[in-house]
């Protein structure tokens, strides 16, 4: 039996047949000769009978049937097209070459990316990039490559790019504190240096509830007005209701806060604020006339001990849930005379 000749239509008989298959002796056949001219491979079945009856040039029956077997068809199919799950052992020499070339390209891309990552780390370590967190967050959201991130960071350092928006709660809170304690000029400086928010963003995003200070002993109207102002959902949205059986709750805490001992004018009520609550009712705090202001001044000179509030109780309200994750703290306070200072004679 001369074996069965199969014209190898997939490609070259040298590059497009997976010869390594025959390492496995159970495959069932083996190539015995090649004809490059006609691009034909001759196969002999393991069940070859040695000769065909009557005709010495014709293949025996098992060899004859080999090309139509399922296993042989699968080998031909895999030689044409590699499936994602194909075992690497079944690849032809040409398919392995293509795979190596593809992997080399990927290695080159990754080498470039690693180099870019190293440059990003070196840049972050040596320079203060304003708004770094926001730049990285937006780059991640866009799926930017390390090279693109590097370019953005370098442009930011050269003042050619400024990241916009994307402030988180903490950055808004810090910016608000900087503006409240240090003033808008400090916030402007830190906006340029560290990427804090602008004054206008704070005004827009950080709504501050208006506190109504009590002129003397707190009235229920004042307490209600403050609760309404501080718990308004527009100012502070209520915490999310836990989805399990846990119930959210409220904790009211009382503490003192030191104040600057200085009277102030309250434009909302046209009155003088900051006098001790126990005795301020004895004078007229309304700014009705120059004379009424003068009366308050005289009362203070007469009694310097009890003239001004130096300390006031602070009601701190804390939303909480049984998970202990509450972080929603509200502060209410009103001026009061501190008894430790002494007896009030106003």
Per CB under 5 A, residues contacting Zn ion are 1, 48, 60, 63
Which one, of 205, 206, 209, 182, lies nearest residue 194 by Cα? 182
Spatial contact of 187 and 157, defined as CB atoms under 8 Å apart: no
- Only one residue has tokens 């006339």, namely 289
Write down the least CB distance from residue 63 to Zn ion, Å.
Answer: 3
Write down the least CB distance from residue 145 to Zn ion, Å.
Answer: 58
Write down the least CB distance from residue 108 to Zn ion, Å.
Answer: 49
* Distance of alpha carbon 281 from alpha carbon 210, whole angstroms: 24
184 contacts: CB under 8 Å, gap ≥ 6: 199
Write down the least CB distance from residue 104 to Zn ion, Å.
Answer: 43
Write down the least CB distance from residue 60 to Zn ion, Å.
Answer: 4
Q: CB-wise, 66 or 153, nearer to Zn ion?
A: 66
Write down the least CB distance from residue 15 to Zn ion, Å.
Answer: 26
* Distance of alpha carbon 54 from alpha carbon 57, whole angstroms: 9
188, 189, 222, 323 from 234: Cα distances, Å: 27, 30, 20, 25
Largest CA distance in the chain: 141
- Only one residue has tokens 């009103």, namely 334
Instruction: Assign 320 to helix, strand or coil.
Output: strand
Q: CB-wise, 50 or 324, nearer to Zn ion?
A: 50
Q: CB-wise, 47 or 207, nearer to Zn ion?
A: 47
Burial track 203-227 (b if 16+ CB lie within 10 A, e otherwise) = eeebeebeebbbbbebeeebeeebe
Q: CB-wise, 1 or 271, nearer to Zn ion?
A: 1
Q: CB-wise, 67 or 146, nearer to Zn ion?
A: 67
Q: CB-wise, 48 or 129, nearer to Zn ion?
A: 48
Q: CB-wise, 44 or 334, nearer to Zn ion?
A: 44
Q: Which two tokens stand for residue 163?
A: 């990241």
Write down the least CB distance from residue 64 to Zn ion, Å.
Answer: 8
């Amino acid at each position: 039996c001369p074996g069965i000749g199969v014209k190898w239509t997939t490609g070259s008989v040298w590059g497009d047949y997976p010869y390594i298959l025959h390492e496995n002796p159970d495959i069932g056949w083996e190539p015995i000769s090649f004809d490059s001219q006609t691009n034909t491979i001759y196969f002999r079945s393991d069940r070859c009978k040695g000769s065909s009856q009557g005709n010495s040039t014709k293949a025996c029956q098992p060899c004859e049937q080999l090309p139509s077997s399922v296993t042989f068809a699968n080998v031909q199919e895999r030689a044409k097209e590699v499936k994602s799950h194909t075992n690497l052992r079944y690849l032809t020499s040409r398919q392995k070459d293509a795979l190596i070339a593809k992997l080399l390209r990927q290695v080159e891309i990754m080498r470039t990316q690693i180099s870019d990552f190293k440059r990003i780390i070196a840049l972050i370590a040596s320079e203060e990039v304003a708004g770094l967190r926001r730049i990285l967050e937006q780059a991640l959201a866009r799926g930017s490559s390390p090279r693109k991130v590097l370019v953005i960071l370098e442009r930011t350092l050269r003042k050619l790019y400024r990241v916009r928006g994307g402030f988180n709660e903490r950055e808004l809170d810090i910016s608000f504190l900087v503006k409240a304690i240090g003033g808008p000029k400090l916030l402007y400086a830190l906006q340029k240096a560290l990427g804090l928010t602008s004054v206008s963003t704070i005004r827009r995003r950080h709504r501050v509830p208006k506190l109504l200070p009590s002129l003397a002993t707190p009235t229920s109207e004042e307490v209600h007005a403050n609760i309404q102002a501080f718990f308004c959902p527009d100012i502070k949205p209520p915490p999310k209701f836990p989805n399990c059986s846990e119930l959210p709750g409220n904790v009211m805490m009382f503490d003192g806060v030191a104040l600057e001992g200085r009277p102030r004018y309250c434009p909302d009520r046209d009155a003088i604020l900051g006098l001790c609550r126990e005795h301020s009712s004895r004078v007229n705090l309304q700014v009705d006339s120059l004379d009424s202001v003068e009366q308050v001044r005289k009362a203070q000179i007469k009694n310097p001990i009890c003239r001004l509030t130096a300390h006031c109780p602070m009601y701190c309200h804390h939303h909480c849930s049984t998970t202990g994750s509450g972080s929603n703290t509200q502060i209410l306070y009103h001026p009061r005379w501190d008894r430790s200072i002494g007896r009030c004679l106003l």
